Amino acid sequence: MSVVEVTGLSKRYQTLTAVDGLNLSVEAGEIVAVVGPDGAGKTSLFRALCGLIAFDTGSAVVAGMDVRTDMERIKPLLGYMPQNFSLYPDLSVEENLQFYGGLFGVPKDRYAALKERLYRFSGLAPFGGRRAGNLSGGMKQKLALSCALIHEPKVLVLDEPTTGVDPLSRRQFWDILLSLRRDGATIIVATPYMDEVALADRAVFMHLGRKLAEGTPEELRRRYRGRIFRLAVDPTAEQMTRLAGIEGAAPYRFGAEVHLYTPADMTADRVRERLAACGLTTPVEPIAAGLEDVFIQLMGAQ
Amino acid sequence: MDYAVTVDQLSKTFGTFTAVDHISLTVDYGEIFGFLGANGAGKTTAIRMLCGLLRPTSGTGTVNGFDVNRQYEKIKPSIGYMSQKFSLYGDLTGRENLRFYGAVYGLSNSRLKDRIAELTAMLELTEFIDRLTGPLPVGWRQRIALAAAIIHRPRIIFLDEPTGGVDPVFRRRFWEILYSLADEGVTLFVTTHYMDEAEFCRRISIMHQGKIVVMGPPRQLVAAHGLPNLQETFIHLIAERPVDG
């Protein structure tokens, strides 16, 4: 059963088309990652879903209800975490939770149990008395998520909740998302990190208000056209110039080695031959395309 | 041996809180050094000391040969600094921003004109240099911020999360630009939360609660811990230590 159904959604700001006839269907209990550059339309899409902006054409339906006409009934089901979530830096962790609990009308007799559950998820219990402004970046984002979860929403819309957060805190944040999903939550989350996309059930790549591609992380990886070879070459400027001379191939430096992007019909042996012609004898190892390679290729094709 | 950065037992405390706790490292000229760590590990405090913006509590260090304890006023003009919150003036164009920063660094008008033309070509800014920077997409703003940070041809550039919020196409191009700077002998001292970017560095250090936990070439660190990639290695190294909010 689809919990979120977006059909032909468009949103224009004067001459700019932020969202351009977008379709998106999200099943109950699914985590969908949304990836796209600045200006792809992610934030407009999320705001439209949460009834925060009017859109021009198309429809958005959450839990069977139209966001244009039924927002009051949808609101209790929705948890929205905008890109710059405003915690109150002068209030403690606990006071922030209390405030959002009050705002969303969480019954007093339910609040204590909810708070305990969120503390268990987030590991924030020892910091309950600390001012939110004095938390580290990762902890702040966990508190912001906790505040968005205080009314037990069934559908979470999270706009880049982990941007600028370190890898361990991001992993812990996703552990929370995965356990919320096990409890039946449906999650739409924008992220710039492909390692997070790999943890989602499905991903949507967006560009200029449209969908570039959609699928499970594995399906998306298979969308890559071409091959990639890892070369154990010290990537000096001189070596890079020689490699750039190989016809039809594009060399990119990756730290202490080079990745050579080639057309699909290239083989490791032919790469070796061509390297030998440049006077290079170096180990050549084919590697699998990552989600980022696919994204870059799809964007480049636009 | 001439190093871009040398640091020995450098510390910074704020009241009872130790932000940087006896760190030591050296960085070569032309090296791309990845300075990694969890949020709140002390990276930004350390970088601020290296840039001459903050006095160490104890320890010694040099940047471009200048002493961080005594010659910090000489450090500032000799380095470039691009921070995660680097503020271009949004109501000025890219060119006006670059003129402003060039003037701050004391470049003459004619040299500044040539330098802006050179950077515009190198960073592919032609289409954007005369637009207001405020409404530009993050990726272009960041390239102009990089141009501002290197307007005076510093030999060392400190980049504090330069690619936060930038899409993969821009990130990859940004790193090609960083490599070409390194080829010219410029030292890049970079913080990032993207572990793929950390693998672009020649060496990295990982900081946790003010201390440097490990340091070395990224692939060597991954191999030494027997984990599949740097992301898992980072998580392993930090997670096994107690966390303080």
pLDDT in tens, B129-149: 999 999 898 889 999 999 999
Gap from A124 CA to chain B (nearest CA, Å): 8
Query: Are the CB atoms for B62 and B49 separated by under 8 Å?
Result: no
* Token pair belonging to B91: 């109501």
* Domain residue extents for chain A: 2-221, 227-300
- Residue of A226, A236, A241, A219 lying closest to A286 (CA atoms): A226
Nearest beta carbon to residue A138 from set B39, B164, B165: B39
Q: Has residue B245 got a pLDDT over 50?
A: no
Nearest-5° angle of CA A262, CA A268, CA A272?
Answer: 100
Q: Determine the pLDDT at residue B178.
A: 94
Q: What SS3 state is found at B239?
A: helix
What does the pLDDT look like over A142-175, one tens digit per residue? Answer: 999 999 999 989 999 999 999 888 899 899 899 9
User: According to CATH, what is the number of the domain A2-221?
Assistant: 3.40.50.300
Cβ A165–B39 below 8 Å, yes or no? yes
Gap from B221 CA to chain A (nearest CA, Å): 13
Cβ B38–A300 below 8 Å, yes or no? no
Question: What residue of A is the nearest CA neighbor of B209?
Answer: A136
Chain A positions touching B234 (Cβ under 8 A) are: 166-168
Q: Determine the pLDDT at residue A297.
A: 94
User: For all residues of chain A together, what is the average pLDDT?
Assistant: 93
B79: amino acid identity, one letter: I
Residue from B32, B39, B191 whose CB has the most chain A CBs within 10 Å, to mutate: B39
Q: Has residue A74 got a pLDDT over 70?
A: yes
Show which residues on chain A lie within 8 Å of chain B, measured between beta carbons.
36-39, 123-124, 126-127, 130, 135-139, 160, 163-171, 192-195, 235-237, 252-256, 292, 295-296, 299-300
What does the pLDDT look like over A243-257, one tens digit per residue? Answer: 888 888 999 998 888
Least confident residue range of A19-28, A89-98, A276-285, B87-96: A276-285
Q: How many residues does chain A have?
A: 302
Q: Has residue B68 got a pLDDT over 60?
A: yes
Q: Determine the pLDDT at residue A73.
A: 94
What is the value of pTM for the model shown? 0.89
Gap from A54 CA to chain B (nearest CA, Å): 22
Cβ B167–A38 below 8 Å, yes or no? yes
Show which residues on chain B lie within 8 Å of chain A, measured between beta carbons.
37-41, 84, 137-139, 161, 164-170, 172, 175-176, 179-180, 183, 193-196, 199-202, 217-219, 231, 234-235, 238-239, 243, 245
Angle in degrees, 0-180, between the axes of helices A137-149 and A167-182, rounded to the nearest 10: 20
Residues 6+ apart with CB under 8 A from A50: A67, A78, A80, A157
Nearest-5° angle of CA B66, CA B160, CA B211?
Answer: 75
Residues 6+ apart with CB under 8 A from A156: A78, A79, A80, A81, A148, A149, A177, A180, A185, A186, A187, A188, A189
> What is the side-by-side strand order in the sheet with B58-63?
B17-28, B3-14, B58-63, B66-67
In this prediction, residue A125 has a pLDDT band, given cuts at 50, 70 and 90, of very high
What mean pLDDT do residues A275-287 have? 90
Residue from A14, A130, A166 whose CB has the most chain B CBs within 10 Å, to mutate: A166
Chain A positions touching B165 (Cβ under 8 A) are: 38, 160, 163-164, 192
Q: Has residue B5 got a pLDDT over 70?
A: yes
ipTM: 0.83
What mean pLDDT do residues A80-91 have? 89
Cβ B165–A138 below 8 Å, yes or no? no
Gap from B108 CA to chain A (nearest CA, Å): 31
Cβ A37–B164 below 8 Å, yes or no? no
HSE-up of residue B123 (Cα within 13 Å, Cβ side): 28
Q: Has residue A44 got a pLDDT over 90?
A: yes
* Helix segments in chain A, DSSP class H: 42-49, 71-74, 93-103, 108-122, 137-149, 167-182, 194-197, 217-222, 237-244, 268-277, 291-300
HSE-up of residue B37 (Cα within 13 Å, Cβ side): 27
CA–CA dist B208, B210 (Å, integer): 6
What does the pLDDT look like over A198-209, one tens digit per residue? Answer: 999 999 999 999
CATH of region A227-300, choose from 1.10.357.140, 3.30.70.100, 3.40.50.10260, 1.10.1530.10: 3.30.70.100
What does the pLDDT look like over A208-262, one tens digit per residue? Answer: 999 999 999 999 999 999 999 999 988 888 888 888 888 889 999 988 889 999 9
Chain A positions touching B176 (Cβ under 8 A) are: 252-253
What does the pLDDT look like over B167-217, one tens digit per residue? Answer: 888 888 899 999 999 999 999 999 999 998 999 999 999 999 999 999 999
Q: Determine the pLDDT at residue A58.
A: 97
What mean pLDDT do residues A1-8 have? 94
Gap from B219 CA to chain A (nearest CA, Å): 9
Q: Has residue B1 got a pLDDT over 70?
A: no
Query: Are the CB atoms for A128 and A94 separated by under 8 Å?
Result: yes
Residues 6+ apart with CB under 8 A from B68: B7, B10, B49, B50, B52, B56, B60, B61, B62, B75
Q: Determine the pLDDT at residue A241.
A: 87
Start-to-end C-alpha separation, chain B = 40
H/E stretch holding B231 reads helix B230-239
Gap from B239 CA to chain A (nearest CA, Å): 7
H/E stretch holding B238 reads helix B230-239
Gap from A23 CA to chain B (nearest CA, Å): 22
Chain B positions touching A170 (Cβ under 8 A) are: 193
Q: Has residue A288 got a pLDDT over 90?
A: yes
Query: Are the CB atoms for B26 and B7 separated by under 8 Å?
Result: yes
Question: What residue of B is the nearest CA neighbor of A128?
Answer: B245
Least confident residue range of A6-10, A160-164, B83-87: B83-87
Name the pairing type of β-strands B187-191 and B156-160.
parallel
CA–CA dist B62, B64 (Å, integer): 6
- Residue of B148, B151, B128, B174 lying closest to B87 (CA atoms): B148
Q: Has residue B244 got a pLDDT over 70?
A: no
Cβ A252–B166 below 8 Å, yes or no? no
What mean pLDDT do residues B104-127 have? 95
Nearest beta carbon to residue B137 from set A38, A168, A193: A38
Question: What residue of B is the nearest CA neighbor of A123?
Answer: B245
CA–CA dist A91, A225 (Å, integer): 52
> Percent of chain A, pLDDT > 90?
75
The residue among B108 and A83 whose pLDDT is bigger is: B108
- Residue of A204, A211, A157 lying closest to A35 (CA atoms): A204
